[in-house]
């Protein structure tokens, strides 16, 4: 029988409870398996993983570390083969090497870590008649690929060749080795993936030794300009000199970009698109505007940072010819870069407690403020190169709205509304007090922002917004679930990555669950699903949880709605844990290995239904 508020796409699964198990937990009637995990050989000749005999060469052919955002792209019309594309955000050497000494890596360890960054492309095949998929013929698939921290990439757009991007190794400022800290991502209408470089600051030292002119921008991106080796430095410069800014002051400017990768062409050179600006990029998710230009939505995940939009100058071509594709492949090289500035409907009523205003909504209007258009700066006192390379400084100047860690931004394919995961911001308050869009001081649990572009025009400059969900324990009066009966919703904390199923239900992955059990121990992260339209709007239910210490970094619901692929990132990442003293033994019972898993329904029907 259909559930209350049922019909096609209703989420009738029985939610799982918050828990602290060292396991991947799915609802009754579902099963799961590991698709790929750190060290699995994916290229010809790559050896089976052996934690005691790792090498650069092996890792370059094996699945990378700390899988983050992922997507599954079709390979055949029958939908039995597909490509899994995965970001590998960062490495945690203490959980990778038995003999790792903090702050004193060996040359080999640095190079293995560089090889464990980047992306993996792996071919999958459907198993039987359910929603289960698995990697096939390991090491023999033509599309399988590793992109790493040393793969050559090309800059495009107005800042390519800029003096701000030039280094001793690249005197033209047009090519860079590798991508780092690739966190979230998105897909384009022409079948490529966009992967965002986030916390690139952590790889660099020597910021105290750069010319004075370079210091303000480095500092704005979280690089110390007073201390040569800030605490926790990886010391990668001991193996690769380019990570020492005192010697190569512009190398950090070559990270923090959106990288476009064509997974259907394993020989293609990844491109870093300067037109999209440089910040701590999460994803870049696309919508085709009514006039056929393409809009990308992008978050900068830092406390008090901003939400951005890029609109292409040229229109998408919908044909499949070679010239159509070539045209589309150039779309991200020119356009307009905007940053969001919000206005508030009930500003005077906001006291930082999360109490709802008298009009019954956290809501308001907003404008997309253009920073650069057609290769020209629109920011007084900044050149086009400065706007694109030091985009945070440009956005500061135009008074963009400071948000509570804007992570993933995702368009709802059914309604065109845009959703932003605002993970948390415990520093909200004081000189940066709560506002209607970030309504709680010391915001531990985060919230979701919904943006509706005026006239449904994704290329436009004005919008309205509201907060459908303010996260936390539903018993906490500062939470809000679109007015839904709080006794029926799952506790949720720290929304991070977003995805939509075929029916327009939002799937929310969490990072850093701050909710605790009666002993004060935090519950594991998880995956939650929630309808956004109709009477069930706000009915959050927990679908899955990940092992101890892990982040549920990303989820992707396959097009036929019968499977969800999840990224189990940094299992066992607990202070004091090591390879031999693991806090998690997921998935194999020995030491912790990050991995991608897939969940499906035993009866083969749609997930969540």
DSSP string, 399-466: TPPPEE-EEEEEE-TTT--EEEEE--BTT-BTTB--BTTB-BTTBSS-EEEEEEEGGG-TTSSEEEEE
Site string for ligand FEO, 297-326 (x = CB under 6 A): ----x-------------------------
What number of chain residues touch ligand FEO (CB under 6 A)?
A: 6
* Tokens coding 299: 């978050």
Say if residue 587 is preceded by a cis peptide, omega within 30 of 0: yes
Other residues' Cβ atoms within 10 Å of the Cβ of residue 166: 16
Q: Is 170 in the site for ligand FEO (CB under 6 A)?
A: no
Tokens representing 133?
A: 């998929």
Considering only residues 251, 407, 453, 525, which one is a binding residue for ligand FEO as defined by CB under 6 A? 407
Annotate 326-356 with three-state secondary structure. Answer: HHHHCHHHCEEEEEEEEEECCHHHCCCECCC
**Residue among 94 and 361 whose Cβ is closer to Ca ion:** 361
Token pair 């607990």 is at which residue? 574
Number of other residues whose CB lies within 10 A of the CB of residue 206? 24
Going 419 to 275 to 295 to 372, the CA torsion angle's sign is positive
Give the residue carrying structure tokens 């062409």.
Answer: 265
Q: What is the nearest approach in angstroms of Ca ion to the Cβ of residue 281?
A: 11
Specify the residue, 436 or 496, whose C-beta has the smaller distance to ligand FEO. 496
Query: How far is 75 from 86, CA to CA, in rounded Å?
Result: 16
**Closest residue to Ca ion: CB criterion:** 346
- What does 89 interact with, of Ca ion, ligand FEO, none (CB < 5 to 8 A by kind)? ligand FEO
- Report 331-370 residues binding Ca ion (CB under 5 A): 345-346, 357, 359, 361, 363
Q: What's the token pair of residue 7?
A: 């019909």
Smallest distance from ligand FEO to CB 199, Å: 7
Q: List the x/- string, 32-71, binding to ligand FEO by CB under 6 A.
A: ----------------------------------------
Instruction: Give whichever of 40 and 410 is closer to Ca ion, judged by the CB atom.
Output: 410
Task: Give the nearest distance from C-beta 188 to Ca ion in angstroms.
Answer: 14
Number of H helices, E strands in the chain: 6, 32
CB 266 → ligand FEO: shortest distance, Å? 26
Contact 488, 539 (CB under 8 A): yes
**Rounded Cα distance, 200 and 176, in Å:** 14
384 vs 394: CA distance, rounded Å: 10
Question: Would you count residue 410 as binding ligand FEO (CB under 6 A)?
Answer: no
198 binds, among ligand FEO, Ca ion, none (CB under 5 to 8 A by kind): ligand FEO
**Contacting Ca ion (CB under 5 A), which of 408, 435, 536, 573?**
408
525 contributes a contact to ligand FEO by CB under 6 A: no
* Tally of CB atoms within 10 A around 198: 28
Site size for Ca ion, by CB under 5 A?
13
Q: Is 89 in the site for ligand FEO (CB under 6 A)?
A: yes
Tell the residue number behind the tokens 């309808």, with chain if given.
531
Smallest separation, CB 183 to ligand FEO (Å)? 3
Closest distance of CB 291 from ligand FEO, Å: 32
Q: Which two tokens stand for residue 76?
A: 């055949």
Q: Which phi and psi (to 5°) does residue 568 adopt?
A: -95, 100
Q: Which of ligand FEO, Ca ion, none lies near 346, with the C-beta cut-off 5 to 8 A by kind?
A: Ca ion
**Residue 198 binds ligand FEO, judged by CB under 6 A:** yes
Nearest distance from C-beta of residue 226 to ligand FEO, angstroms: 25
Name which position in 40, 282, 499, 536 contacts ligand FEO (CB under 6 A): 282
Any idea what DSSP says for residue 468? E
Rounded to a whole number of angstroms, the minimum distance from the CB of residue 509 to ligand FEO is 10
Shortest Å distance, C-beta 370 to Ca ion: 25
Q: How many whole angstroms separate alpha carbon 258 and alpha carbon 198?
A: 9
Kind of pairing between the strands at 551-557 and 145-147: unpaired
For residue 450, the partner it binds in Ca ion, ligand FEO, none, with Cβ less than 5 to 8 A by kind, is none
CB of 440 to Ca ion, least distance (A): 15
Q: Which is nearer to ligand FEO, 392 or 539 (CB)?
A: 392
| CB atoms near residue 397 (< 10 Å) | 15
Residues 79-118 that bind Ca ion (CB under 5 A): none
Give me the residues that bind Ca ion (CB under 5 A), please.
183, 345-346, 357, 359, 361, 363, 408, 410, 496-499
Give me the residues that bind ligand FEO (CB under 6 A), please.
89, 183, 198, 282, 301, 407
């Amino acid at each position: 029988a259909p559930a209350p508020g049922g019909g096609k796409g209703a989420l009738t699964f029985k939610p799982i409870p918050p828990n602290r198990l060292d396991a991947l937990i799915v609802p009754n009637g579902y099963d799961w398996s590991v698709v790929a995990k750190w060290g699995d050989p994916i290229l010809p000749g790559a050896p089976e993983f052996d934690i005691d005999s790792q090498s650069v060469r092996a890792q370059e052919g094996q699945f990378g570390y700390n899988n983050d955002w992922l997507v599954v792209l079709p390979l055949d019309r029958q939908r039995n083969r597909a490509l899994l594309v995965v970001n590998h955000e960062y490495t945690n050497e203490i959980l990778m090497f038995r003999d790792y000494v903090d702050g004193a890596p060996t040359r080999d360890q640095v190079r293995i870590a560089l090889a464990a960054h980047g992306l993996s492309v792996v071919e999958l095949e459907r198993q039987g008649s359910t929603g289960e998929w698995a990697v096939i013929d390991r090491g023999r698939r033509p599309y399988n690929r590793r992109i790493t921290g040393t793969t050559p990439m090309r800059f495009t757009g107005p800042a390519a060749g800029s003096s701000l991007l030039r280094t001793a190794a690249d005197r033209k400022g047009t090519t860079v080795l590798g991508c780092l800290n690739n966190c979230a991502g998105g897909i384009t209408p022409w079948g490529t993936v966009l992967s965002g470089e986030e916390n690139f600051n952590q790889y660099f030292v020597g910021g105290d030794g750069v010319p004075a002119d370079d210091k303000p921008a480095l500092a704005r991106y979280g690089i110390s300009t007073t201390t040569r080796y800030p605490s926790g430095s990886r010391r990668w410069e001991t193996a690769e000199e380019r990570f020492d800014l005192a010697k190569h002051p512009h190398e950090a400017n070559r990270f923090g970009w959106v990288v476009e990768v064509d997974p259907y062409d394993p020989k293609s050179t990844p491109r870093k698109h300067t037109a999209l600006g440089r910040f701590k990029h999460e994803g870049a998710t696309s919508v085709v505007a009514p006039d056929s230009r393409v809009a990308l939505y992008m978050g900068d995940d830092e406390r008090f940072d901003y939400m951005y939009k890029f609109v292409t100058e040229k229109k998408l071509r919908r044909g499949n010819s070679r010239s159509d594709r070539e045209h589309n492949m150039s779309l991200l090289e020119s356009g307009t870069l905007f940053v969001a500035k919000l206005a508030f409907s009930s500003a005077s009523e906001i006291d930082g407690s999360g109490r709802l205003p008298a009009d019954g909504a956290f809501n308001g209007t907003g404008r997309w403020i253009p920073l650069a258009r057609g290769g020209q700066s629109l920011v007084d006192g900044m050149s086009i190169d400065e706007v694109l390379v030091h985009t945070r400084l440009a956005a500061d100047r135009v008074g963009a709205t400071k948000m509570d860690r804007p992570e993933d931004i995702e368009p709802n394919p059914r309604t065109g509304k845009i959703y932003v995961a605002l993970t948390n911001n415990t520093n909200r308050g004081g000189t940066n007090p709560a506002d209607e869009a970030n309504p709680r001081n010391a915001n531990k649990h985060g919230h979701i922002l919904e943006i509706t572009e005026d006239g449904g025009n994704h290329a436009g400059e004005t919008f309205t917004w509201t907060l459908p969900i303010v996260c936390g324990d539903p018993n906490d009066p500062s939470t809000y679930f679109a007015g839904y009966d709080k006794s029926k919703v799952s506790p949720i904390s720290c929304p991070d990555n977003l995805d939509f199923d075929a029916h327009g239900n939002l799937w929310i992955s969490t990072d850093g669950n701050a909710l605790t059990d009666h002993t004060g121990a935090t519950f594991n992260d998880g995956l939650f699903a929630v309808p956004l339209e109709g009477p069930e709007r706000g009915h959050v239910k927990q679908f899955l949880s990940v092992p101890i210490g892990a982040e549920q970094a990303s989820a992707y619901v396959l097009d036929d709605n019968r499977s969800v692929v999840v990224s189990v990132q940094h299992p066992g990442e607990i202070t004091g844990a090591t390879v031999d003293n693991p806090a998690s033994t997921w998935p194999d019972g020995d030491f912790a290995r990050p991995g991608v898993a897939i969940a499906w329904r035993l009866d083969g029907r749609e997930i969540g239904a």
